[in-house]
């Protein structure tokens, strides 16, 4: 990816090195949808948790009352390198550049639909973090919390992606764009309506709704890549392959197989490798968010 000369986002908050205050948690926050979030396990269990939480993103139980505080975010961003993150911190600069591209892509797309895009903030953290969705351990992977309109990532996650065979800068950018996809869903009211429907149905049906929401976030990530490349010539040869490979590696069936578990489609929450690839591709190919209606599709 060609990202070094791109402008940086100012909507990145660096909370690395700060205590997440697990002990002082209010305890009133809604729990995440992730399996075993915040539970300390070792070895393979840790990897399993990470994989399970990978792309967990939208915390569908995490909608809480209270304003989004959108006025605090800024859509005007500085030029390359002029954010408040360490200039030699490549991973932090990378996510700041990618977040800026998501702002530059979604702002006009919302305008075309007669709406206004409010960019999310991305919070960098180590080990664990508190959000409107409660306490979340790094092991759960990057996530988006609809309750505070913010995405969260421990940058060590990029090393984990590498270890699980989903490395490459575009794979990392896809992770971020997927979380921003959940933000788009939140702004459009999709998150709220999915959560409402999930409360009324069985576990199996609730999982199926989760899959639809996750696949839509994948499709939105594809929409981002389409326009980011069009506007900024972001992609280099091999990037698309990296993205498609990452989408496959984090498919529920592949994760279950790799964890030595039986593949049970009814317990999928994010979609199969094939589905994730297909929806990422639909977004990539069309660049049209209206093509991302996963809720009315059997794909
Ligand atoms: Zn997600």
**Per residue in 47-101, pLDDT tens?**
333 333 333 333 322 222 233 333 334 444 444 445 789 999 999 999 999 999 9
Low-confidence ranges of the chain (pLDDT < 70): 21-82
pLDDT at 253: 96
Whether 3 and 97 have beta carbons less than 8 Å apart is answered as: yes
d(CA 227, CA 230): 5
How remote is the CA of residue 70 from the centroid of ligand 1, in Å? 21
Q: What angle is formed at CA 165 by the lines to CA 162 and CA 168, rounded to 5 degrees?
A: 50
d(CA 76, CA 79): 10
DSSP of 146-198, one letter per residue? TTTTEEEE-TTHHHHHHHTT--SHHHHHHHHHHHHHHHHHHHTTHHHHHHHHH
Annotated domain spans of the chain: 12-296
Residue 75: other Cβ atoms inside 10 A: 14
How remote is the CA of residue 210 from the centroid of ligand 1, in Å? 9
Contacts for 277 with CB less than 8 Å, ≥ 6 apart: 244, 247, 248, 251
The H-or-E segment that residue 122 falls in is strand 121-124
How remote is the CA of residue 82 from the centroid of ligand 1, in Å? 30
Whether 133 and 105 have beta carbons less than 8 Å apart is answered as: no
pLDDT at 11: 97
Q: Each residue of 88-103: b (16+ CB within 10 Å) or e?
A: eeebbbbbbbbbbbbb
How remote is the CA of residue 143 from the centroid of ligand 1, in Å? 7
> Ligand 1 being an ion, which residues bring their Cβ within 5 A of it?
55, 57, 214, 217
Q: With CA atoms as reference, report the closest residue to 39 among 128, 148, 165.
A: 128
The length of the chain, given as a count of residues: 299
pLDDT at 159: 94
pTM: 0.81
Burial class (CB in 10 A: 0-12, 13-18, 19+), 152: buried
How remote is the CA of residue 286 from the centroid of ligand 1, in Å? 21
How remote is the CA of residue 44 from the centroid of ligand 1, in Å? 22
Half-sphere exposure of 142 (CA within 13 A, CB side): 28
The H-or-E segment that residue 7 falls in is none
pLDDT at 81: 44
Q: With CA atoms as reference, report the closest residue to 128 among 115, 144, 141.
A: 141
How remote is the CA of residue 181 from the centroid of ligand 1, in Å? 8
How remote is the CA of residue 222 from the centroid of ligand 1, in Å? 13
How remote is the CA of residue 215 from the centroid of ligand 1, in Å? 8
Q: Distance between alpha carbon 209 and the CA centroid of its chain, in Å?
A: 17
Contacts for 278 with CB less than 8 Å, ≥ 6 apart: 299
How remote is the CA of residue 80 from the centroid of ligand 1, in Å? 28
């Amino acid at each position: 990816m060609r990202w070094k000369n791109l402008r940086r986002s100012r909507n990145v908050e660096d909370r690395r090195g700060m205590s997440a205050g697990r002990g002082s948690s209010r305890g009133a926050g809604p729990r995440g949808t992730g399996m075993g979030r915040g539970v300390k396990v070792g070895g393979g269990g840790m990897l399993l948790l990470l994989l399970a939480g990978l792309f967990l993103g939208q915390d569908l139980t995490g909608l809480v009352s209270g304003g989004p505080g959108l006025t605090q975010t800024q859509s005007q961003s500085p030029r390359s390198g002029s954010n408040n993150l360490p200039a030699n911190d490549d991973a932090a600069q990378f996510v700041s550049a990618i977040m800026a591209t998501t702002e530059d892509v979604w702002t006009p797309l919302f305008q075309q639909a007669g709406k206004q895009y409010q960019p999310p903030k991305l919070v960098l953290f180590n080990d664990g973090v508190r959000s409107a969705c409660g306490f979340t351990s790094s092991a759960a992977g990057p996530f988006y919390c609809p309750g505070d309109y913010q995405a969260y990532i421990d940058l060590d996650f990029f090393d984990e992606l590498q270890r699980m065979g989903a490395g490459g800068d575009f794979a990392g950018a896809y992770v971020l764009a997927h979380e921003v996809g959940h933000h788009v869903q939140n702004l459009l009211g999709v998150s709220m309506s999915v959560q409402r429907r999930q409360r009324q149905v069985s576990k199996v049906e609730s999982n199926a709704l989760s899959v639809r929401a996750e696949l839509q976030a994948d499709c939105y990530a594809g929409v981002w890549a389409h326009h980011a490349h069009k506007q900024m010539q972001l992609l280099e040869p091999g990037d698309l392959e990296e993205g498609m490979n990452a989408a496959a590696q984090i498919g529920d069936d592949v994760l279950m197989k790799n964890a030595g578990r039986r593949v049970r489609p009814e317990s999928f929450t994010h979609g199969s490798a094939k589905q994730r690839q297909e929806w990422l591709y639909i977004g990539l190919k069309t660049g049209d968010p209206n093509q991302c209606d996963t809720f009315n599709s059997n794909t």
